[in-house]
Amino acid sequence: MITYLEAIREAQAKALADDPRVYIYGQDVAEFGGAFKATKNLASAFPGRVLNSPISEDAMVGSAVGAAIEGMRPIVEIQYADFSTPGFNQIVNHAATLYWRTQVKCPITIRLPSGGTAGSGPFHSQSMEGVYAQYPGLIILTPATVEDAYSMLLEAVAIDDPVLFCEHKYLYYHLKAEGLPTEALPVGKARIARQGRDATVVAYSAMVHEALAAAEELSADGYEVEVVDLRSIKPLDTDTILASVARTGRLLAVGEAWPWGGVTAEVVARVASEGFELLDVPPRRLNAKNTPIPFHPNLWGTHRPTAPTVARALRDLLRL
Amino acid sequence: MLLARLLEEKLANLYRAGKINGGVFLGKGQEALSASLGMALKKGDIFAPLIRDQAGRLAFGEDILDAVRTYLGSKLGPMRGREGNVHRGLPREGRYAMISHLGAMISAVCGGLMARRFQGQTGVVGATCVGDGCSSTGAFHEALNLAAVEKLPLVLVVANNQFAYSTPNDREFACKNLVDRAIGYGIEGHTVDATELDACLDVVGRAVERAREGRGPQMVVATLLRLAGHGEHDDAAYIPEALKNSPTGRDCLKVAECTLMERGWASAADLEAWREETLQQVEEAVATVQREPAPDPAEETWCALSTQELDDTFRA
Ligand SMILES: Cc1ncc(C[n+]2csc(CCOP(=O)(O)OP(=O)(O)O)c2C)c(N)n1
């Protein structure tokens, strides 16, 4: 069995082995193996290519841009997605604009350990994908499975544009698979995680699993809910979403990020503007509550969408 | 120096005549320092110039047409109308294209140098030039510290031209001299009077050599006065007369010309001839670019990604 976290490590090992232009740069990533051990043993297996950085997110990303200009393919590990904010400027203004401004490609992968785990509080739990998605020039991946964590990270490193790889910390240890995949859907294609006919839930990252559990609950009542795993939120696979809504007539978009704007708003907006006639009832969104992310597990468990709240939203959508 | 000065004077005139979109930012007074840096660098080095580095850009190989095309918005320029004025470069030729955010380019140069090291290249130097105001940014600190930790061959020139836009030094930092910060970073620091070309060539040249020899990051803090507004929209009324009349307020170009004559290396007639010849070069470049087409929105891809198929709005 291999975990989501091990898949991320294996993908990095393969990227380092396959391509001498790849290196890893981040806090504590060298001998220590990273705060989550996502780079365990890589420093010894690839001497000189897994480097500890100072706690300088701006300079970490800025240096990756310079290295990319010179032909490297850096992987930057931000210790927690929350701490990408000091590097925000380099991500959105430098990495994301480089190709458009200069025609020089910027193949950097920024790993953002994202999302909440019990007890992590306001500054170690954030889901930043929607914030970054607003900016042109970035690719944003949100793998929900062990297989995708592996194959999409390899793809991220191969893509010639800056990629934010939003790996979910809750899934690190909770998800396991039999082995690593040998083939995968390409970036930009969503996956039907569960087929259904009565309603569509569009989700990504850890929320896919809450949606699947909610769908299971509703199937006991005889309702078949389709779950679309977006896999990447930028690009967003509008075609797969619309095709699903065409089958079900009902849409619920679920995200762990905050409710103002963001991925769920984009999904609903696209369906409303491109597939309004497919909808039998008004589309709905379910997001985290509009406060910082609370520390205590009781509060945290209510702050973010969970299988029970997804199921409740689905019952509303189905007018049950 | 002379070419940079005359080119910028021409650009300022075009700005006043309403022929330029956006701002014009002059390096007037900073030419000796900037040119010294551009001249000390070799082909294969990395240079991230900032707003007052026209002289350094030219010295490091920028085609004068690149500058004029970017200012005038020719679609044949390196930025093709997507970017203007000082926001230009050809990164693959070692001339990084600055983003506006002050301090951001220093770490990019660090990364370029890390890449060269990964690739096994030695003897490469990376340089960038920033202002006194930039020294207050977090990006400046992060990048300089990173350079020190990695012992990178970085040359950071801080042009202390006394003002950050309208803000004087005493509202920007509280240390006696910015060069003292070098100690804190564990790197070598140097000072220079940037009104003296001789001194600039010497100090900047040595700093570049020391970096090349593997002595780690070098910080050069230069003293001068900005002899123009922040941009051409700014009359700089806040600069005190006394400062303008002080030794710091001297014009490096005039000082250099006097030195040339004192040493008998050039006569007044030589200087005049050089000026005429250079002016001609500037006029020709501007005339060429003025005949060039502007960017056409219909020809734009409107896609920021190099992997166009991954832009999900691109199909629209
Ligand atoms: C991070 C950031 N904040 C503000 C600005 C706006 N700005 C542009 S130039 C400038 C003054 C810069 O002063 P200094 O660094 O001393 O350079 P100088 O213009 O004197 O050469 C300011 C505030 C900016 N470009 N970047």
Q: Which one-letter DSSP state was computed for residue B136?
A: G
Q: Is the pTM of this model over 0.90?
A: yes
Query: Which chain A residues touch B305 with a CB distance below 8 Å?
Result: 99, 136-137, 139, 161
A255: enclosing H helix or E strand: none
Distance B167 CA to ligand 1 centre (A): 10
Asked if residue A183 is part of any domain, the answer here is no
The answer to whether the Cβ–Cβ distance between A70 and B112 falls below 8 Å is yes
Q: In Å, how far is A122's CA from the nearest CA of chain B?
A: 23
Distance B137 CA to ligand 1 centre (A): 10
The neighbouring-strand residues paired with A13 are none
Nearest to B99 among A56, A93, A161 (CB): A93
**Is there a catalytic annotation at residue A94?**
no
Asked if residue B159 is part of any domain, the answer here is yes
Which among A6, A77, A124, A155 is annotated as catalytic?
Answer: A124
Note whether B115 contacts A: Cβ–Cβ < 8 A. Answer: yes
Asked if residue B162 is part of any domain, the answer here is yes
Could you give the 3-state DSSP secondary structure of residue A85? helix
CATH no. for residue A72? 3.40.50.970
Nearest to A160 among B109, B118, B306 (CB): B306
Asked if residue A235 is part of any domain, the answer here is yes
Do A136 and A214 lie in a common domain? no
Query: Which chain A residues touch B101 with a CB distance below 8 Å?
Result: 89, 93-94
Do A143 and A82 lie in a common domain? yes
Asked if residue A186 is part of any domain, the answer here is no
Secondary structure of A140-196 as H, E, C letters: EECCCCHHHHHHHHHHHHHCCCCEEEEEEHHHHHHCEECCCCCCCCCCCCCEEEECC
Do A252 and A196 lie in a common domain? yes
Which of B268, B261, B227 is CA-nearest to residue B245? B227
- Specify the ligand 1 atom closest to the Cα of B159: 21
Q: Whose CA is nearest to atom 19 of ligand 1?
A: B164
pLDDT of residue B313: 83
What is the number of structural domains in chain B?
1
What mean pLDDT do residues B24-46 have?
98
Measured CA to CA in angstroms, residue B141 lies from B50, B51, B107, B176, B253 at distances of 17, 20, 10, 17, 32
Secondary structure of B5-29 as H, E, C letters: HHHHHHHHHHHHCCCCCCCCCCCCC
Q: Please classify residue A149 by burial: count the beta carbons closer than 10 Å to its beta carbon, then call 0-12 exposed, 13-18 middle and 19+ buried.
A: buried
pLDDT, tens only, B221-264:
999 999 999 999 999 999 999 999 999 999 999 999 999 999 99
Distance B58 CA to ligand 1 centre (A): 22
Give the number of C-alpha atoms closer than 13 A to the C-alpha of residue B312, restricted to the C-beta side. Answer: 21
Distance B35 CA to ligand 1 centre (A): 21
Sheet-wide strand order for A191-194 = A191-194, A225-229, A199-203, A251-254, A284-286
Interface A:B, Cβ pairs < 8 A = 155
> Which conformational region is residue A117 in: left (phi greater than 0), alpha (psi within -120 to 50 degrees), or beta?
beta
Nearest to A58 among B142, B307, B310 (CB): B142
Do A195 and A172 lie in a common domain? no
pLDDT of residue A320: 78
The answer to whether the Cβ–Cβ distance between A86 and B310 falls below 8 Å is no
A67: enclosing H helix or E strand: helix A57-69
Do A10 and A148 lie in a common domain? yes
Nearest to A62 among B107, B145, B304 (CB): B107
Do A135 and A40 lie in a common domain? yes
pLDDT of residue A193: 98
pLDDT for B148 beyond 60 = yes
Asked if residue B316 is part of any domain, the answer here is no
The answer to whether the Cβ–Cβ distance between B101 and A63 falls below 8 Å is no
B130: enclosing H helix or E strand: strand B126-131
A140: tokens are 């944003």
Q: Any idea which residue has 């790197």 for tokens?
A: B187
**For residue B270, what are the domain limits?**
2-311
Asked if residue A12 is part of any domain, the answer here is yes
Query: Which chain A residues touch B118 with a CB distance below 8 Å?
Result: 23, 48-49, 67, 72
- Phi, psi (5° rounding) for residue A191? -125, 140
Report the residue among B165, B169, B170, B233 best suited for mutation to probe ligand 1: largest number of ligand atoms under 8 A from its CB.
Answer: B165
Asked if residue A67 is part of any domain, the answer here is yes
Asked if residue A182 is part of any domain, the answer here is no
- Domain's final residue, options A177, A201, A232: A177
Do A173 and A200 lie in a common domain? no
Query: Which chain A residues touch B119 with a CB distance below 8 Å?
Result: 70-72
Nearest to A58 among B79, B107, B114 (CB): B107
The rounded distance, in Å, linking the Cα atoms of B158 and B131 is 5
Ligand 1 pocket, Cβ-based, cut-off 6 angstroms: B 51-52, 100-102, 130-134, 137, 159, 161, 163-165, 226, 230
CATH no. for residue A290? 3.40.50.920
The answer to whether the Cβ–Cβ distance between A67 and B82 falls below 8 Å is no
Query: Which chain A residues touch B103 with a CB distance below 8 Å?
Result: 58
pLDDT of residue B315: 56
The rounded distance, in Å, linking the Cα atoms of A297 and A72 is 42
Show the low-confidence residues of chain A (pLDDT under 70): none
The rounded distance, in Å, linking the Cα atoms of B180 and A79 is 32
- Specify the ligand 1 atom closest to the Cα of B101: 26
- Domain's final residue, options A134, A152, A177: A177
Asked if residue A104 is part of any domain, the answer here is yes
**For residue A310, what are the domain limits?**
191-319
CATH no. for residue B271? 3.40.50.970
pLDDT for B314 beyond 80 = no
Q: What is the CA radius of gyration of chain B?
A: 20
pLDDT, tens only, A92-116:
999 999 999 999 999 999 999 999 9
pLDDT of residue B316: 47
Q: In Å, how far is A56's CA from the nearest CA of chain B?
A: 6
What is the number of structural domains in chain A?
2
- Give the angle subtended at the CA of A260 by the CAs of A256 and A262, to the nearest 5°: 60
Do A172 and A298 lie in a common domain? no
- Domain's final residue, options A122, A144, A177: A177
The rounded distance, in Å, linking the Cα atoms of A111 and A102 is 25
Could you give the 3-state DSSP secondary structure of residue B66? helix
Do A120 and A196 lie in a common domain? no
Distance B132 CA to ligand 1 centre (A): 9
Asked if residue B295 is part of any domain, the answer here is yes
Note whether B258 contacts A: Cβ–Cβ < 8 A. Answer: no
